[in-house]
Structure 1
Amino acid sequence: MKNTAYRIFKKPFFGRFMKPWRWPEDVDQAQWQRLTIDSRSGASLAALLAQARTATAKGAVLMCHPMGTAAKGFWLKYGHAELLRAAGYHVMLFDLNGFGESSSTTMDFPLDVLAAGQVLQARYPDLPVAVAGASMGAAMSVCALAERDHPFSAAVLESSFPTLLHFWSRYPIPKLGIQLSKLLYPAGERRLRPLHAAARLVGQPKLLLIYGEDDIYTPVEDGKQLHAALASSTHTEFWQVPGAKHTHAYEAQPEAYARRVIAFLDNHLACHA
């Protein structure tokens, strides 16, 4: 009954994105191992795991997708996963609950990030673990960093909204749903609010925030607000990307993205290796 209520509540937010999942074209499926992960959200999460393409691995990176029918396939379609594998990182992709091939339960998406991260760390106990997220995936990753048992030493976060209302205020029905949730279930809304999590980070993970100058959904101004909150808690870098639309910094500036992201991970995961 509870999950049915959540599925109804989710519909105005995510209904158009919750479609059957397909592999992106031109992806060698044999490179990826399928996993199923149990989340404290109650969901069964679908995940893919691939090894680094280098002789030795420097770490492991969990990748948390933005909203969209591609779900975990976003990282395959646009090349992020292969960039990290080539740079010496094991990579895990997964679907947040209700997206892709994962079952749909509650709105406790940070618990999905936490569960996937813990499984990744258990798979590679001697390596440091980072999380990379985009849009919704970035925001939920920030919230997961406030969970006491998260495994992440660093995070690359692109196009994260500071609060749900920052993103959804332009959509009347979702906006109303969030406003009602703040009245009826304020604790639940706070758990999904990156600005709330920013003051409660666990373990001082190092952060890289990325925002595109052409992003109309999570504009640079929103990013600066979140940056100010996070920078008061931990080392936080900010990269404003010319010509980049929402979640597409790599597409807009591929060479600069590769240099910046890989250098960040190399620098901040090396001390935890």
Structure 2
Amino acid sequence: MTHDPELQPLIFCLFLSIYLITILGNLLIILAERADFSLHIPMFFFLSNLSLNDICLSSTTIPKLLVNIQTQDQKIIYTGCLSQVSFVLIFGGMENCLLAVMAYDQYDAICQPLRYQVILSSDFCVLLLVLSLLISTVHDLLHTVMALRLSFCTNVEIPHFCELAQLINLACSDTFINTLLVYSAANIFFGVPIAGIIFSYTKIVSSVFRMHSVGGRDKAFSTCGSHLSVVFLFYGAGFGVQLSPTVVDSSTKNAVASVMYIVIPQMMNPFIYSLRNREMKIALRHLISGKPFLFLCS
């Protein structure tokens, strides 16, 4: 971020607006899913949990950033940094797992429609959610425990955003095991869900092109469009920042990466689903007008 005092109020208002839009948008998705009985199906169950996770993920960094800008103190101490890294790993990991679970949901809905309700029962949906949280927590604990083994020659102060790579780079002790764990865990933890998403949509596309009904094809593509847009936004933002040759300064790279990972996708997800999904648009319209609450009370 900039050190120019004249730009600080503008940056503060920008991030405050983004944060409020993120909270409001995702909260509306959750309320719409809970208020409208027609949305009580696995797809919207996972979507509401994705929205809850997006709220939590955004809240791990943006409030601290706003406080830093307001107090003009741009540093995060070691304990706060480690806590922030831990929560980002958990909620970022949940996002990763939930996108894979939602791809599996789309696969069952389109490729096995007659068995959809049987396969994705309420208990199985909760199990997938708990399993995603468990995997994300284990992934976080691996890195957090290993990070606690690091020793530092000076007090660790990182500007604005904390990432695990920053902590490792600032350590004075041997970081070979930590670096190896980062790359190994990333390849497995992110590679497996991405492979699952690709496999699911390969089957979905194959199944859709075998449909004789044009209306059925359009509905299938419309159903998958929202999820695919979110997938491309989440993974595309991550890969784009990490592979960009133009970002060479480490602090700038970390700030941009945090914005891309934790601000933009989480803010855009509610808009993508509300604009591209007919059922969600109807539910949100009813929610804003108060009809679902009248229905539930009647």
TM-score band w.r.t. shorter chain? under 0.3
Q: Whose helix fraction is larger, Structure 1's or Structure 2's?
A: 2
Q: Whose strand fraction is larger, Structure 1's or Structure 2's?
A: 1
* Bigger Rg, which one: 2
TM-score (norm. length: structure 1) = 0.27
TM-score (norm. length: structure 2) = 0.25
| Higher RCO, 1 vs 2 (CA within 8 Å, ≥6 residues apart) | 2
